[in-house]
Every structure is written in structure tokens, then in C-alpha cells.
């Protein structure tokens, strides 16, 4: 079967009809205030289309990882309030998932309005490994929509989860693909099926173990694999270099050696930093030194030095490679961008993507937060993913439950 689109649902008619939408409102909070509203903004177009055609929209979403019980610090209220500020349609908020508040507000919801339910993960059945428990929650959610409800999945960031609001609900209600999910899938297809060459992949972040499967799957497609962030120290250690007190996954060194060897066979060039910004401590006010990547112990901090960013020469070399790309995918910051002293690598990579004439994709999660924190606009790039882990699993070649169920 082919996936049914949002346009098909609208053409079928939604005026006065309840539509249950799984959105991605999993945004970072700072003292109860939304710190990055990128995902909220990205959720609005699908909701707007439904509202404009008279639907009664009920939004399900999660925030953080509560333990299956209500926890005020994970309340969706701040995200719902921000949605209400940004959106041109009215937004109400239910104090529970499928309780009295949800039923009362859903029952009185006017056509062309949006109701956001409380954090779906406050109900332990959402993430249960027990199929019957998840299905029971899905049925209660469907019960909010009356006799003619529909379901739209617009939360690409959750499609890798076999959860009640992502998977089971799509087996109960007529299910459709939201525009955001559709766009994400089309972009990821461009990265995996027939990318325009040269294809440059930039990977960063803290742990190489998080990116191993992505490296393995993209190595045969990419022309260049640029590696920075905390994960680079495992690559440097695999080359026999001393990395001081930097983040190191010793148990992955042999696997990385294998990748470095195999890359030559498949025609993919690993590009590693030639210089590193080393600090005496992990702090914004740390003392820093820039040293060769193959001689980190030469820093004035000796064996206690911590690598926290790629150096300026490496950043310039990375930018040059990015500039040559027709397709560029970036996931993971080059250093601890939250501290100004270690933000140059990430800023330089972001600027290179902005300046590139190729198709540029910024992976979700920390990469998306980094570019916004550093003053870049979403429009500076070909696409900023909302996916995070879901994007990586797609790039690994995995089947994602939330997409699979839409094809059934």
C-alpha cells in the first residue's frame, strides 16, 4: 500500500471532524521557558491546514523522558503556550492525557481549534513493551475523536518508537502522513538513495558509538566523511595518538580502525582534525591551548588536557571540503559550542553549509540547537531536520515503526 497523505485526508473532508495529530513538541526548556521553539514552529503548517479546513484538532506529544507518571518539570504546558503564541489559531491545553480534562475539552472543542493533551508519556502505557497495554491507551485516545476520527503522524522525531501514539493508534484510526513527516522522508531519501556527488558527511557529537551504524551505511555513498566533536578522539586514538584526558571510547578503537581501513577500499576519504583546542578543564572560563592533533600531550596541560573543539586550521579545512559538496549532511557539533571558547569549529561548519551552493541538511537535536544558538536562521540551510535519533536510524537503514505502520 502507499502512504495516505494529508492532502488526501483534507480532500476526504475534515470540516467538523476530529483529527488526532501526533506532533513533535519535544523542545528544550530553561526554567520552564521554551529555549528553542524550532520544533513547535515546524509543527504549525500541518495543524494550520487542518484548522483552515474546519477540523477539530487534538494534538498528542511528549516532552523529555518522564517515568510514566505526571512530573511537572516535563509538563507540555510551556510548549502549548508557545504554540498558542506563534500559531494563528486558538490553542487549548488539557491537564491530563485521557482523563476528565481531556474529555471535557475535547467534547467542547470548536471546529478550527486545537487542543494539546498533556505529555503523552505521563501515561505508562504509551511506552509499554506490552502490546495490549499500548493498544488500550490507543483506543482511549481514539475515543476522544468520536465515530469519524482520523489520525495524522506529523512527529518524525518519534517515528522510530513503537509507542501507542505513534504506532498503535495508526492501526485503529484511518492514518495519514503529515507534511512534516513527508518532507523529512523525502530529504532522507535524497541522502541515501541517489545523492548528488560530491557527497560530504560531517559527523560530530560526543560518542562515536552513537554514529557507528551511520558511518557504516553512509561510507559507501559519501565521498568525504568529516569527523569532529568528542567522537574524534576515538579516531585519533585508533591512529595511535595520545588524546590526554579527552573523551575516549576505548572499546570502539578496533572498530574505528576497521572503518578507516575499509573507507580506502570503497573510495571514501575520512577527514580528521589536524589541530585541537585543548583546555585545562571543562568550563566556560577554561584556559585553552591549540595544539597538533597528533601531539596533544604537547599542550601546556600535558596528559590532563581535554580536547573540546577542533582547531582553526581543521575548521578551515572542513569548510573547504563542505564548499566542494553538492550534497552535505551534518549531524553533531564540532565542540562544546555552548561555551564561546569552543564554538568556533561548529560556527565555521555552519557558515560553510550556509555558504554552500549544494543541498545542505542539518541533522536534528544538538546540531539544530547549535545553529540557532550561534545566530543562524533555519532558512540558511536546505533543510533542518526535526528528527534527531529517528533521522540517524533512517540513515542507518533501519525500518522505523511509525513509518512502517503508515504503509500498512
Residue 338 annotated as binding site: yes
Catalytic site includes residue 99: no
**Strand arrangement of the beta sheet that strand 56-60 belongs to:** 91-93, 113-116, 56-60, 18-22, 150-153, 175-177
- 230 three-state secondary structure: coil
Catalytic site residue from 365, 387, 388, 402: 365
**Is residue 388 among the annotated active site residues?**
no
Q: Kindly compute the dihedral angle of the four CA atoms of residues 346, 350, 351, 352, in this order, to the nearest 10 degrees.
A: 100
121 labelled ligand-binding? yes
* 38 annotated as ligand-binding: no
Grid coordinates 576515538 are at which residue? 234
> Does 82 carry a binding-site annotation?
no
Do the annotations mark residue 358 as ligand-binding?
A: no
Task: Give the C-alpha separation, 83 to 87, whole Å.
Answer: 6
- Is 63 annotated to bind a ligand? Reply is yes
Residue in 99, 323, 382, 389 annotated catalytic = 389
Active site residue 402: no
168 marked as binding residue: no
Return left, alpha or beta for 31; rule: phi > 0 is left, psi -120 to 50 is alpha, else beta: left
Is 125 marked as a binding-site residue? no
Q: Annotated binding residue at 211?
A: yes
Q: Is 255 annotated as a binding residue?
A: no
- Looking from the CA of 373 toward its CB, the CA atoms found within 13 Å total 19
The one catalytic residue in 39, 49, 56, 321 is: 39
Peptide bond into 392 cis (omega under 30): no
Q: Let me know how long the chain is.
A: 408
Q: Which three cell numbers stand for residue 221?
A: 555513498
Decide: 148 and 20 in contact? Cβ < 8 Å: no
Residue 291's nearest CA partner among 246, 339, 336 is 246
Annotated binding residue 26: yes
- Rounded-to-integer distance, Cα 74 and Cα 121, Å: 9
84 annotated ligand binder: no
- Ligand-binding annotation for 65, yes or no, is yes
Selected catalytic residue, list 207, 255, 326, 373: 207
Q: Which helix (H) or strand (E) holds 83?
A: helix 77-86
For 18, other C-beta atoms within 10 Å of its C-beta total 23
**Cell representation of residue 294:** 597528533
Residue 383's DSSP bridge partners are 361
Per the rule left: phi > 0, alpha: psi between -120 and 50, beta: everything else, 240 is left
Q: Is 366 annotated as a binding residue?
A: yes
Q: Which residues of 318-336 are buried (b: 16+ CB within 10 A; e: fewer)?
A: bbebbeebebbbbbbbbbb
62 is in an annotated binding site: yes
Cross-strand partners of 278: 289, 307
Confirm whether residue 365 is marked as ligand binding.
yes
Determine if residue 123 is labeled as part of a ligand binding site: no
Give burial (CB, 10 Å; 0-12/13-18/19+) of 67.
Answer: exposed
Q: Is 39 one of the catalytic residues?
A: yes
- Known binding-site positions for ATP: 211, 307, 338, 364-367
- Known binding-site positions for substrate: 24-26, 39, 62-65, 121, 161
- Known binding-site positions: 24-26, 39, 62-65, 121, 161, 211, 307, 338, 364-367
**Catalytic residue set:** 39, 207, 365, 389
- Known binding-site positions for (2R)-3-phosphoglycerate: 39, 121, 161
Amino acid at each position: 500500500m502507499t502512504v495516505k497523505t494529508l492532502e488526501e485526508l483534507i480532500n476526504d473532508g475534515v470540516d467538523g471532524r476530529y483529527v488526532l495529530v501526533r506532533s513533535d513538541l519535544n523542545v528544550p526548556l530553561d526554567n520552564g521557558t521554551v529555549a528553542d521553539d524550532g520544533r513547535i514552529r515546524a509543527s504549525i503548517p500541518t495543524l494550520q491546514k487542518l484548522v483552515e479546513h474546519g477540523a477539530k484538532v487534538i494534538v498528542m506529544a511528549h516532552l523529555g523522558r518522564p517515568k510514566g507518571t505526571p512530573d511537572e518539570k516535563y509538563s507540555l504546558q510551556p510548549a502549548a503556550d508557545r504554540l498558542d503564541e506563534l500559531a494563528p489559531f486558538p490553542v487549548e491545553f488539557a491537564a491530563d492525557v485521557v482523563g476528565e480534562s481531556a474529555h471535557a475539552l475535547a467534547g467542547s472543542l470548536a471546529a478550527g481549534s486545537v487542543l494539546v493533551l498533556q505529555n503523552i508519556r505521563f501515561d505508562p502505557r504509551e511506552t509499554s513493551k506490552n502490546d495490549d497495554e499500548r493498544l488500550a491507551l490507543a483506543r482511549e485516545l481514539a475515543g476522544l475523536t468520536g465515530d469519524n476520527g482520523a489520525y495524522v503522524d506529523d512527529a518524525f522525531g518519534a517515528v522510530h518508537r513503537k509507542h501507542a501514539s505513534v504506532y498503535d493508534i495508526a492501526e485503529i484510526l484511518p492514518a495519514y502522513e503529515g507534511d512534516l513527516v513527508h518532507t523529512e522522508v523525502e530529504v532522507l531519501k535524497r541522502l541515501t538513495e541517489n545523492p548528488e556527488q560530491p557527497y560530504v558527511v560531517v559527523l560530530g557529537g560526543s560518542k562515536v558509538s552513537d554514529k557507528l551504524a551511520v558511518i557504516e551505511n553512509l561510507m559507501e555513498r559519501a565521498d568525504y566523511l568529516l569527523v569532529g566533536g568528542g567522537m574524534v578522539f576515538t579516531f585519533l586514538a585508533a591512529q595511535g595518538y595520545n588524546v590526554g584526558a579527552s573523551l575516549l571510547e576505548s572499546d570502539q578503537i578496533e572498530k574505528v580502525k576497521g572503518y578507516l581501513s575499509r573507507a580506502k577500499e570503497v573510495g571514501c576519504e575520512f577527514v580528521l582534525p589536524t589541530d585541537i583546542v585543548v583546555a585545562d578543564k571543562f568550563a566556560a572560563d577554561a584556559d585553552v591551548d591549540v595544539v597538533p592533533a597528533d601531539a596533544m600531550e604537547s599542550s601546556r596541560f600535558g596528559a590532563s588536557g581535554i580536547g573540546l573543539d577542533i582547531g582553526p586550521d581543521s575548521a578551515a579545512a572542513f569548510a573547504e571540503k563542505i564548499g566542494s559538496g553538492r550534497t552535505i549532511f551534518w549531524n553533531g557539533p564540532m565542540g562544546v559550542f555552548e561555551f564561546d571558547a569552543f564554538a568556533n569549529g561548529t560556527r565555521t561548519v555552519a557558515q560553510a553549509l550556509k555558504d554552500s551552493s549544494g543541498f545542505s541538511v542539518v541533522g536534528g537535536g544538538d546540531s539544530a540547537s547549535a545553529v540557532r544558538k550561534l545566530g543562524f536562521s533555519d532558512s540558511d540551510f536546505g533543510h533542518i531536520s526535526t528528527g534527531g535519533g529517528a533521522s540517524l536510524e533512517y540513515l542507518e537503514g533501519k525500518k522505523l515503526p511509525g513509518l512502517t505502520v503508515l504503509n500498512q
